[in-house]
Amino acid sequence: RFGRGGGGPPLGFRGGRGRPGRRDAPGGGRERGGGGMSGGMLSYKAFMAQLDDDVTPSVAEAQYAQYKEEYARLQLRQFFTECQAKEWFRARYDPMVLERQAPERAREA
């Protein structure tokens, strides 16, 4: 899911100080459902295009690192939410299911 282009920074991300058309500008940015992450992670170039022109490279790099961490965290949460009720997921990670399968696994070992 970590691709280039599309998407935007996570909702509530404050990469700079409100330029028109940006997510953090009042009334700015594109509205989209699903938490604003549906199009994939921004490339560094696309992320930089959203920042103010006076942002220093070191500040921009720090903000992009923060954006990537938040993006990964949200992707992980989305994956968990989507998969937690699926049988394969529960068989692998649900402690109750694992406990029921323990005797069978012990016999096979």
Q: Could you tell me the pTM of the whole model?
A: 0.55
State pLDDT tens for residues 99-108.
998 898 889 8
| Per-residue pLDDT, 38 | 57
Report the residue count for the chain. Answer: 109
Q: How far apart are CA 32 and CA 27, in angstroms?
A: 13
User: Does pLDDT of 5 surpass 90?
Assistant: no
What pLDDT was estimated at residue 39? 74
Burial 78-95 (b: 16+ CB within 10 A, else e): eeeeeeeeeeeeeeeeee
